[in-house]
Structure 1
């Protein structure tokens, strides 16, 4: 019996935080923008740290990042400046770092967006419960409630899309280390999330219903909304 089958798989988290957040209009990497008294990234990391089954969280930064230690002076998790130009490159760098620190092929990796600062530990627990014995893995997601339109370059509607089987992908997204590594290596920078890369291999990740509050802060007005929601929670 080899080492990977002699023990229960562990859960690790990766938070890629090497981006610059150009769409946010923040004038700095958005993960460091203060929301409800802390950098957005700090809120996301606190939620992951409150999940006992995650044995360690690795933050992946750009090699040029000089802000992290000053912005999050109390961070006690793992850190690696191995981020790349794309999400896939940053996550692959993080996976390689996990391997260097002892993670194995069948260990679970939960990849979470640094900009999803409203994450709640119970949502992560629900994802782990749903995927722990799944052959593929899965992701937090929300069924689409709004009517979906297809638009052209002129800003005109060209079609209405049936929303009945549509979901909005969220994070964390949870897959075995070896699987997500193979999937991202094959798809490269075209992968907008880990699930799409796994799908490209012909597999079907599990959709785990989450809250619409697990929003990704992307546009300037999203910061104020995230702050209101965090302050409401206390």
Structure 2
């Protein structure tokens, strides 16, 4: 099993939480899953050295000097077997629980082509017109917020790369998730991108109540 680890907002991935970069926490969590045989970190050239320094020492982890998921995949593709599966994970979701990763892997093993962890939408969602005036309330019963890692069969990943913005350096895998199987996400898998979320992450690590790797 191979993980293509594609960080969004590269410099933010180096922000420290309790003395270690978000990227360090993220990769450590992925390496804690024995079924993952490679964590490939796609890094813009300007960040490659800093990313390398932040990574845990492991033969199962390497930095690819590219911000393109397409280019990163091209580099590791020759080593993949036909039954390989791919996980695309956001470096800023540094505290995704092992259970969430395992749910994605299990769904892929059961035959799903694409798998997305999701959470029910808790906020009230409104639509507005061009002037910013509220026009309606959206029924949130069927709404979900998507998280990562997003799982793919090898064929589904190749298809996604050929037909969507997966090939770029934007939010990995979320450009077109229509038709994907969903599994329960987790509040701890938040994207640490604001000062408030950074404070939450500090408290999460300080609490020491995160689950051990499975």
- Shorter-chain TM-score tier: 0.7 to 0.9
Q: State the superposition RMSD in angstroms.
A: 2.3
3-state SS in 2 of match to 1:229:
helix
Q: Of residues 111, 120, 123 in structure 2, which corresponds to 1:146?
A: 123
Q: Is the 8 A contact 1:109 1:176 kept in 2?
A: yes
Task: Name the structure 1 match of 2:114.
Answer: 137
Q: Please report how far the alpha carbon of residue 150 of structure 1 lies from its aligned counterpart in structure 2 after TM superposition.
A: 2.6
Q: Distance in 1 between matches of 2:7 and 2:176?
A: 19
Q: Please report how far the alpha carbon of residue 198 of structure 1 lies from its aligned counterpart in structure 2 after TM superposition.
A: 5.2
The superposition leaves residues 45-99 of structure 1 with CA deviations (integer Å, 9 ceiling, x where unpaired) of 011101111111111111222322333363541221021xxxxxx2222211221
The answer to whether the aligner puts 1:36 opposite 2:18 as a matched pair is yes
Task: Name the structure 1 match of 2:74.
Answer: 96
TM-score (norm 1): 0.78
Q: Please report how far the alpha carbon of residue 138 of structure 1 lies from its aligned counterpart in structure 2 after TM superposition.
A: 0.5
Segments of 5+ residues of structure 2 without an aligned counterpart are 210-214
3-state SS in 1 of match to 2:45:
coil
Task: Name the structure 1 match of 2:173.
Answer: 194
The answer to whether the aligner puts 1:74 opposite 2:53 as a matched pair is no
Q: CA, structure 1 residues 117+190, in 2 after alignment: closer, same or farther (shift >3 Å)?
A: closer
The answer to whether the aligner puts 1:109 opposite 2:75 as a matched pair is no
3-state SS in 2 of match to 1:122:
helix
TM-score (norm 2): 0.85
Q: Distance in 2 between matches of 1:31 and 1:117?
A: 9
Q: Is the 8 A contact 2:114 2:180 kept in 1?
A: yes
3-state SS in 2 of match to 1:111:
strand
Q: CA, structure 1 residues 75+61, in 2 after alignment: closer, same or farther (shift >3 Å)?
A: farther
Q: Distance in 1 between matches of 2:169 and 2:126?
A: 23
Q: Is the 8 A contact 2:97 2:188 kept in 1?
A: no
